[in-house]
Amino acid sequence: MKNDIVNKVKELRTAQGLTQEELAQQAGVSRQSVISIERGRYVPGLALALRLAHIFACATDEVFRLEENGS
């Protein structure tokens, strides 16, 4: 069984009216990192995941979710 981490970063960012650049600055990462996270190409480490949840004022599991795929 394969596990994939899916996220709602783009949805949460746009709901708060933030640009990718603004979110990157608040999170202390590059805009390219935000793009990669939103596209599912990069899974952030725990510290960044917690920072993003704090920025969005929600629980980490509201931003990131483990999805099980039968592979």
DSSP string, 3-70: EEEEE-HHHHHHHTT--HHHHHHHHTS-HHHHHHHHTTS----HHHHHHHHHHHTS-HHHHEEEEEE-
The residues spanned by each domain of the chain are 2-69
Instruction: Give 41's pLDDT tier (boundaries 50, 70, 90).
Output: very high
Res 1 pLDDT > 60: no
Res 3 pLDDT > 70: no
Per-residue confidence (pLDDT) for residue 2, from 0 to 100: 59
Instruction: Give 68's pLDDT tier (boundaries 50, 70, 90).
Output: confident
Question: What is the average pLDDT value for the chain, to the nearest integer?
Answer: 94
Domain 2-69 fold is 434 Repressor (Amino-terminal Domain) (1.10.260)
pTM of the predicted structure, to 2 decimals: 0.89
